[in-house]
Amino acid sequence: MRRRVLYDATSRAAAAAAELLRHAFDVAPLSASTALSAAAPAVVLVGTDLADGRWGDAPLRILALVDADATGPWPEHWYGLLPAGVGGPILARAVENAFDDLDRAAAMTRLDRELSELNAIGIRLSAERNPRELLETILTKAREITQSDAGSLYLVEEDADGTRWLRFALTQNDSVKIPYRASRLPLTSASVAGHVALTGDTLNLEDAYAPPPGAPFRINRSFDDKARYRTKSMLVVPMRTPQGETIGALQLINCKPEFGHRFASVEEIERTVRPYGPRHEQLAGSLASQAAVAIHNSQLFESIRRLFEGFVQASVTAIESRDPTTSGHSFRVANLTVGLASVVDRCATGAYGTTRFSAEEMMELRYAALLHDFGKVGVREQVLVKAKKLFPGELDRIRQRVELIKRGLALRYADKKIEHLLDNGRRRYAEQSAAFDAELSAYLAELDDSLALIVVANEPTVLPGDFAAELDRLALRAFEDHLGNRQTVVTPEETAILSISRGSLTEAEFKEIQSHVKHTYRFLAEIPWTKEFRRIPEIAGSHHEKLDGTGYPRGMRGEGIPLQSRMMTIADIYDALTAGDRPYKKGISRDEALDILSHERRAGRVDGALLDLFIEAKIYEQATSPTVTPPGTDKRRPMR
């Protein structure tokens, strides 16, 4: 297209100059309806009478033709001053220089815009954490800056055995709908994308149907045939990391005059699609480099996330293996807590109508819930799984003690019989022997009754009031053996343990179980969490706090307890109540557990608004553990 020269028809000097330029430029008079745009810049010839004209930001250069004694003011965008009557060659050279200046200004403007766009794209890519959104952004922005009608994105993948593939990750097309389905291709030079990924070279094809002679690749035209499309110009650039690793290929198709245009037919594509130029190669190459870094970082982030997820799950499994009866508790609590948080996040009214959680906060909460019992590693296993008041070895020791007392009594009465024979002979022996046997039987029966009482008292149930007195009597009742030694069935220490009124734990053991929360906070605080997860120790370490300050370990109150911890408290209590039978308690039904939680709400210990959401949204259905309906539950043992 020839360059435009506009002139002020009211100026004789401008009109005369325009006549001298008609052979080399498109010359036209300037009028109020003349359109000026960046796509069609112009040089304007004016006379001195228009020297103070205002042209705004129009893409033009003004040459003012003035008399020798003329003075300003001059137009805002003037480029040069020439005397009236200047010769044709000088005038033409001045106009050419003005156009060159316009071209340089347009190039600088375009470069500034493109650099700004690339910078903005780079910032957006570096901030995007969602892998799918990242790929969509890369392809969309690549198409925008190269004015491409369509495009595809391929990623290099490697199997465990080292085999490398090319994954068809994404495709876009403005003019036709594409039934996209992710697939894998062999990483070979048979395809354009595969060739670029293998060689690291950029391919710029003016006509994709006519590849260069000797090219190892061919275009698969089946899609075009089915979609009634025409893949014409094609630009394929490698996505390479700064370390030189090619992680994929960016394929751009059909460069068009305007990005927003949609082709209506194959014929229109044939007629209007343009080849990709060097500038497109540079832009696409720059964006592909940014994309490679962003994708590599995203893959590294995802790899680290999977690694950490695996570590967390392995840690939880290892912790729960110390108490197999609680297996799955941490995972169920995590599901329940995140489920409740999702409902809170969607809630538009009520106490938490304005509360929202980001994706990072939801992940932080999930990890905190998974690790809420991490501190159990600091609790003795025999206390952690303690099913009865006495440890198994302690009850066995009492049984052995009873057997020794029985043998001592038997020997004692055998000695009495012998002594009677030696002192009295056989006179009245049978009668006295029977009396001795009766006394021994009474003692043995008393010992059996005592042992039976101990076995009953050893259960982690609520004891009747008279049991404590009976146990105290046992601690004082001594039996004498054949050597004159006196021994009780239970020691004062054992009596104190058996006298626990509720549950199976002593006061010291109860505190030891409670200490797992302190251990959780201390252990998790040792981990160098990233900024997104820095509150995990606080959230996990506060799940046994209660709103009224009766919780532990710090006795926190109300709003001082993190919201996430308050949600976890409800989930933890519910699962601890409804989980399958454990040695120290029976699982209970869903309705019974919700009644207990409602009692806790009325007592001011748990968050009522959160509990309402937990019940209304049936969050409890997200617990995968089956429930049973036995008669009762243990209130003395802390929820674990």
Q: Helices 590-602 and 608-616, interaxial angle, to 10°?
A: 160
As a whole number of Å, the end-to-end CA separation of the chain is 81
Whether the Cβ atoms of residue 398 and residue 451 lie closer than 8 Å to each other: yes
72 pLDDT higher than 70: no
pLDDT exceeds cutoff 50 at 626: no
| Residue 639 counted as domain residue | no
Decide if 315 is inside a domain: no
Count CB neighbours of 73 within 10 A: 9
Within a domain: 174: yes
Q: What percent of the chain has pLDDT over 90?
A: 40
CA distance 439 to 429: 15
Rounded to whole angstroms, how far apart are CA atoms 143 and 158?
Answer: 27
Whether 52 maps to a domain, the answer reads yes
Least confidently predicted of 103-112, 384-393, 429-438, 611-620: 103-112
pLDDT, position 173: 94
Query: Whose CA is closest to 334, among 319, 313, 314?
Result: 313
277: region left, alpha or beta (phi > 0 left; psi from -120 to 50 alpha) = beta
Q: Judge if 528 and 606 occupy the same domain.
A: yes
Q: What is the DSSP string of 250-309?
A: EEEEEE-SSTT----SHHHHHHH-B---HHHHHHHHHHHHHHHHHHHHHHHHHHHHHHHH
Which residue's entry shows tokens 């190459």?
285
Q: Which of 443, 376, 381 is nearest to 411 (CA)?
A: 443
- Looking at the domain assignment, is residue 484 inside a domain? yes
Each residue's pLDDT tens digit, 528-569: 888 889 999 999 999 999 999 999 999 999 999 999 999 999
- DSSP letter string over 20-41? HHTTTSEEEE--TT---BTTB-
Angle between helices 278-321 and 88-127 (to 10 degrees): 10
Q: Which pLDDT band holds residue 600 (cuts at 50, 70, 90)?
A: very high
Q: Using DSSP, state whether 240 is helix, strand or coil.
A: strand
| Residues 441, 407 share a domain | yes
Selected residue with higher pLDDT from 79 and 526: 526
Quickly count: other Cβ atoms within 10 Å of residue 292's Cβ. 23
pLDDT at 187 over 80: yes
pLDDT digit string, tens, across residues 131-168: 788 888 888 888 988 999 999 999 999 888 889 999 99
Same domain, 498 and 529: no
Contacts of residue 393, Cβ cutoff 8 Å, sequence gap at least 6: none
CATH of the domain at 33: 3.40.50
Residue 452 sits in which domain range? 392-503
CA quadruple 556, 559, 561, 566: dihedral positive or negative?
Answer: positive
For 190, list phi and psi in degrees, rounded to 5: -70, -25
Mean pLDDT across the stretch 77-85? Answer: 72
Residues 472 and 547 in one domain: no
Report the pLDDT value the prediction gives residue 633, as an integer from 0 to 100.
37
Instruction: Of 16-20, 46-50, 430-434, 503-507, give the lowest mean pLDDT range.
Output: 46-50
List C-alpha distances in Å: 244 to 238, 267, 567. 11, 41, 48
What is the model's pLDDT at position 637? 43
Looking only at Cα atoms, what is the longest distance across the chain?
169
CA 580 to chain centre: 30
Average pLDDT rounded to a whole number, residues 360-379: 90
CA 494 to chain centre: 51
Residue 633 counted as domain residue: no
Query: Among 65-69, 74-78, 272-276, 396-400, whose mean pLDDT is lowest?
Result: 65-69
Residues 557 and 585 in one domain: yes
Same domain, 106 and 19: yes
Instruction: With respect to residue 404, please indicate whether it lies within any of the assigned structural domains.
Output: yes
Say which DSSP state 128 is in: -
Whether 474 and 450 have beta carbons less than 8 Å apart is answered as yes
Q: Residue 550 is part of a domain; what is its CATH number?
A: 1.10.3210.10
331 closest CA partner among 362, 382, 373, 361? 373
Asked if 561 and 545 count as a contact pair (C-beta separation under 8 A), the reply is yes
The pLDDT value given to residue 128: 66
Q: 256: domain CATH number?
A: 3.30.450.40
**Confidence at 629, pLDDT banded by 50, 70, 90:** very low
Q: Is the pTM of this model over 0.85?
A: no
- Report phi then psi at 638, rounded to 5: -65, 150
Residue that has been written with the tokens 């994706």 in this structure: 359
Token pair of 74 as six digits: 């001059």
Tens digits of per-residue pLDDT, 321-350? 877 767 788 999 999 999 999 999 999 999
Structure confidence at residue 561 (pLDDT): 95
Q: What is the mean pLDDT of the chain?
A: 84
Contact 193, 233 (CB under 8 A): no
> What pLDDT sits at residue 115?
66
Contacts of 432 (CB under 8 A, 6+ apart): 417, 420, 424
In a domain, 419, yes or no: yes
What is the number of structural domains in the chain? 4
> Residue 349 region, left (φ>0) first, then alpha (ψ -120 to 50), else beta?
beta
Judgement on whether residues 261 and 140 belong to the same structural domain of the protein: yes
Which comes out higher in pLDDT, residue 200 or 482?
200
Same domain for 183 and 104: no
Q: Which of 377, 373, 395 is nearest to 568 (CA)?
A: 373
The residue to which tokens 């001082």 are assigned:
560
Q: How confident is the model at residue 1 (pLDDT cuts 50, 70, 90)?
A: low
Q: How many CB atoms lie within 10 A of CB 304?
A: 11
| DSSP 8-state class, residue 373 | T
- Residue 416 in contact with residue 429, Cβ under 8 Å? no
Residues 10, 63 share a domain = yes
Across the strands, what pairs with 155? 167, 248
Last residue within a domain, chosen from 503, 530, 546: 503
What's the CA gap between 113 and 578, in Å, rounded? 62
- % of the chain at pLDDT higher than 70: 85
